[in-house]
Every structure is written in C-alpha cells, then in structure tokens.
Chain A
Amino acid sequence: MDKILDYNIDYPKIIREEEIVRYLDKGCDFINDEEIWEKLKKNACSSTSRIREILEKALHIETLEPDEVACLLNVEDEDLWDEIFDTAGKIKKKVYDNRIVTFAPLYCSSYCINNCLYCAFRRENLLIKRRKLSLEEIKRETEVLAGEIGHKRLIVVFGEHPQANIDYIVETIRTIYEVKVRTKNGYGSIRRVNVNAPPMSIEDLKRLKEVGIGTFQVFQETYHHDTYRKVHPQNTVKSNYLWRLYCMHRAIEAGIDDVGIGVLFGLYNWKFEVMGLVYHARELEKRFGIGPHTVSFPRLEPAFNTPFVQETRYKVSDTDFKKLIAVIRVSIPYTGMIITAREPKEIRREMIKVGCTQTDASTRIGIGAYSDRYNEQEAERQQFLLGDTRSLDEVVRDFAQMGYITSFCTAGYRCGRTGKCIMELLKSGKEAKFCKLNAILTFREWLDDFASEETKREGEKIIAQEMEEVRRQIPSIYPKLLEYYERIKNGERDLYF
C-alpha cells in the first residue's frame, strides 16, 4: 500500500480526552437530541402574533431561544413565511448593509484518514485521484486567485491526514500571505486566509493563531448523535462526535476569536439541524461571550463514486432550503452566513435575499485546479460537484444588477474588530457602516484591476449609489471616503476603515 495511504494512525495523539471533558456539563454535551425534538413538537402551532413577536425580537439583533426557533421552523402559513423572509432580509441589511463579501476556496489536499459515507475523499474511495499541493503549487494557485481573478480572501481546505498536519497548514497560510502580484493598475494579494480543517488540539490551534488565521471553520456535519455515528465509521478519528463538537471551544480558548460552524444538510432532518446550530451558537456565547463569526449550510451534492448521496432520505428541497436559511438569519442575527457555489445560480440569487452575507465565485475545487486551468469539472479530482461555475466577473455583475455591491473587505480583523468586539459592533449596527465603506473601497480596487468592461459599467452604477448613501447617512465620513477613493483610483491599494 502506498505509504501516504497508511491508516495506522495513533488516535490518542490526535484526540485529547482532557480537551473534551473539561467542557462537558455533568458529563453531557450541549446537544440533547430528545430536548430538541421535544421543543420542535411543543412549538408546532404558534399563533401569528407569537411569530411576529419573535421576529420583532430578532430585529433588535438578539439571539433567539430554542423554543422561539422551533416556533419559526414549524410555521406552515406561506404568508407568514414571507414575513420571515422579509425580516431575514431586513436583519441582514441592518447588520451587514448592502454588501456581499466574496472569497474563493483553495483545496490543498485530498488525502484523508476518515471514511465518511457522504464524501468523495473518504479513504475507501480508491477511484478518486489524490493529490497534495506543494508550497510552490500553493503559491501558483494563489498567484492566479489574487493576480488574475482578483480575490482577496481565501478559505484553505484540508482533508484530515498526517501529510496535511499543522506544519503543512501553517506553511500554506504563510506562503499565501507572501504572494503579491502586479495587476493592471495596482497589485493583488490575499489579505485574509480562513481555514476549513479537521478539529485540532489547543496546542495546534495556537499555531494557527500565530500565523494570522482569519476564521477557523469546522462543520459538525450533523448534530444528531445517532446519525453522526452512522455516517462516520467507528474506526476513524472523525467518529468522535465530542472531539468535533468542542473544537470551537478549544479554538476560542487558544485565542482564535473568529470561528465558523456549519451543518451538511441532507444527513438528517433539517429542522433538527437548524436547532443544533442555534444551540451551538448559544453555547459559545454563554461560555465565551463570542458566537460564531459565520454559519455555513452546504447541501449534499453528487460526489464521485459516493452512492450515499443518492440514497439519503433527508435531502433538503429548495423551498425548505430557503426556509432554513431565513430561520438561521433570524435566530443568530449577528452571524455571517455563507452560501457557496455548490448551489446553482438561481438558488444563490434567491438565498442572498434572505440573509446570506458571503459567497464564492470563479470557484474550482479540484486540487491544483486554478493553475491547471481546466474549465470542465473533473469529478474524480473533487470532493463534490459544483452547481455554479461562473466567474467572479459574472457573479459581480449579477449582484450589481440585483442591487448589491460585492465586497473584498478584510478590514475588521486587521483593526481589532474581532471576537467579542465585532459582535458588539454588529449588534449595534455600527459595523454595518464599516461594511459599506470598505465595500466601496475594495470594489473600486477590483473594478480597476480585474473587471470586464461590461461588469465595470454595472459596477460603476452600484458604487455611485453606495457613495450617495454614505454622503446622506454618514456625512461626517464622506470627505475621508472620497479621499481614500481617489487615492485608490490613482493606484494606491489596501486603504480601509
């Protein structure tokens, strides 16, 4: 057997029991499956006035109680759903203004010691083409992303394997941050690197912090204990539910104060999973005063040689997908919400309206795909198949035509607006002003360096609209915005509020 696929892993060295047990409450974790189902049953028929009361609370940017979330999830009246969708859109505007932040995923390694039934990268899938990028290849990928496409934010993605250990992850991040590429009128670089990786020990998480990570993201996949056991075979590291569940506790304790949680919808009942996400957010708030920086909600997609995806009975319809996104937005009103290119363009357009704040574009998820420059998806190189392979230029134009400005902002984490601090600013509405200002500046950079003529025409309209809103809403800052804006038009880069 190829050495790189050797699964004789020393599990005790990976999973540290003391870094789980310290967080348990009388030996129990914070997800009580029976309690969640009880709340869903108990709150099955709420009155219209009750629902409106809950929506009003959410508009004050307060995290909802589990009973309140259950009420929303059980709404059946379509008119009431329209009110929920409308509230979700209002909350997003209040907290994050009119911008959609964009990023790209960079898959670095497809080797994995786990065997998750739903994943094309599972170790028993011998048909998948495995690859791990060298640091030189990472650099080349980044040069394309930053220098040709114009991204400023990446999420680097790793399978769980000794070959993609903390040393490799740290060096990957360092390599990415070092890239600087000349562009048409300025230069391109990556200003924020988020990480989607396996759960780690506090010791390893400290190393991620020290290299300047953005957000640390780990999805629980499913909060339902029994389902988790079924889809994560017992002889794997990932089979340990609690090691995964408490990784954000460890991350925050290690000093990483921007964390991202998520669920893979399609593994179990979607209403249960939304409740799980809310319980997770509330647990982090209670323990640390810091909720999740982002919540993600990928749906199961076709994956090479992965029959589980076709066989699951919990697939989420487009109608229910919109509902779950709106409920997450309303329930955890301050959090960022990520919808990805897994979803086709029509779905993304629809979901943006009910509270999503971040998305990717020009996405390629084959290992080495950005610099290999293949245009068709290659299922045997990818974890799953994408629904939307449009370029960033097309997506930006689409958003502009919808009335949204695309943002490449990375200001917050470079100005101490992290963790507890950014939570307070988000809840107060002050961060929304920063969002607006930085969207204008970073969009200007991107239009000047990367946009097609057609996209630039649409982009100029949306920028003019946003500038006018600043002039009216925050007149005191308008002169400074104009100053930065002109400096960027003259070729300066990376000015921010």
Chain B
Amino acid sequence: MVKETSISDKDLNSLTDLAKRIKEKYGVILWFAEIFGKRWSYLAGEKDISEYVWERIQINDKLGILVNDWGNVSEEIKKEILDLIRENIREMKG
C-alpha cells in the first residue's frame, strides 16, 4: 500500500529513473516534489544528500525539483538538465 500522489505509479517510476540517470551522467543530485501551496511533498529521487543548500525550481504548477548538489556543472549543462526534465515531464502528460 502506498501513499497517493496525483501522478501515476508509471510516471513516478519514470521520475525515479530520471533522477538516477541525471546523477549517473552529470553527478547532480536532485529530487522531485509535488507542489501544494507551500508544501513540496517528496515524490522521487536520490535521498542520500551531500549538501545542505538546495535550489528549488518549479517546473510546472504541480511539480518541482530540489537540486541538492549541482556540483561543478556549467550553466550550459544546468540548462541541458532542466530541458531534459521538462521534456520528460511533458512526455509523462502525453
């Protein structure tokens, strides 16, 4: 039995997979959250954090990401990661 989110299990698995791929390819640790007003509820992503500074980025009105560690990535790579995330989320909504 799992807690309900407004996205499907299939999409949740996609987000988990995406966070993992981003960490493997870019060394960036982030996680996905579902947004309800002030509340950003954890959805998926790497829980083994290494930093204490977060960057919160809202992707759409319901989903956001929290980047725990950008590492030494350039602004260009950051943009590449964000574009990848947005594209994956668009695909999730069909």
| A contact residues vs B (CB 8 Å cutoff) | 177, 191-192, 202, 206, 209-214, 249, 252-257, 287-288, 290, 410, 413-422, 424-425, 430, 433-434, 437, 474, 477, 480, 497
Contacts and interface: CB of A to CB of B under 8 A. Distances in A.
Interface string B22-52: 0000000001111011111111010101011
B67 to A, nearest CB: 11
B60 interface: no
Residue with the greatest number of chain B CB neighbours at <10 A, chosen from A191, A255, A419, A425:
A255
A416 B36 contact: no
Specify the main secondary structure of chain A where it touches its partner.
helix
Contact of A288 (B3, B32, B53): B3
A257 B3 contact: yes
A480 B41 contact: no
A209 B3 CA distance: 12
B37 A417 contact: no
B3 A290 contact: yes
Contact residues on B (Cβ < 8 Å of other chain), bracket: 20 to 34
A138 to B, nearest CB: 16
Contacts of B76: none
A177 B2 contact: no
B38 A192 contact: yes
Residue with the greatest number of chain A CB neighbours at <10 A, chosen from B3, B6, B53, B56:
B3
Q: List 10 A-B pairs, minimum CB-CB distance, nearest first.
A: A212-B37, A421-B42, A416-B33, A416-B42, A212-B39, A255-B4, A252-B3, A212-B36, A212-B38, A416-B40
A430 B49 contact: yes
B66 interface: yes
Contacts of A192: 38
Interface of B: 1-6, 31-34, 36-43, 45, 47, 49, 51-54, 56, 64, 66
A206 B52 CA distance: 31
B53 A477 contact: yes
Given A416-B31, A421-B31, A477 B52 contact: yes
29 contacts: A177-B38, A191-B38, A211-B36, A212-B38, A252-B3, A253-B2, A253-B3, A253-B4, A254-B4, A255-B4, A255-B5, A255-B34, A257-B42, A287-B1, A288-B2, A413-B38, A415-B56, A415-B66, A416-B33, A416-B40, A416-B41, A416-B42, A416-B45, A417-B42, A418-B40, A418-B42, A420-B42, A421-B42, A425-B47
B52 A413 contact: no
A289 to B, nearest CB: 8
Given A253-B1, A437-B52, A424 B47 contact: yes
Contacts of A414: 38-40, 56
Nearest to A480: B53
A326 to B, nearest CB: 29
A211 to B, nearest CB: 6
Contacts of A290: 3
Contacts of B66: 415-416
Nearest to B32: A416
Contacts of B6: 255
A218 to B, nearest CB: 17
B4 to A, nearest CB: 5
Nearest to B35: A212
Contacts of B47: 420-421, 424-425
A497 B54 contact: yes
Contacts of B39: 209, 212-214, 413-414, 418
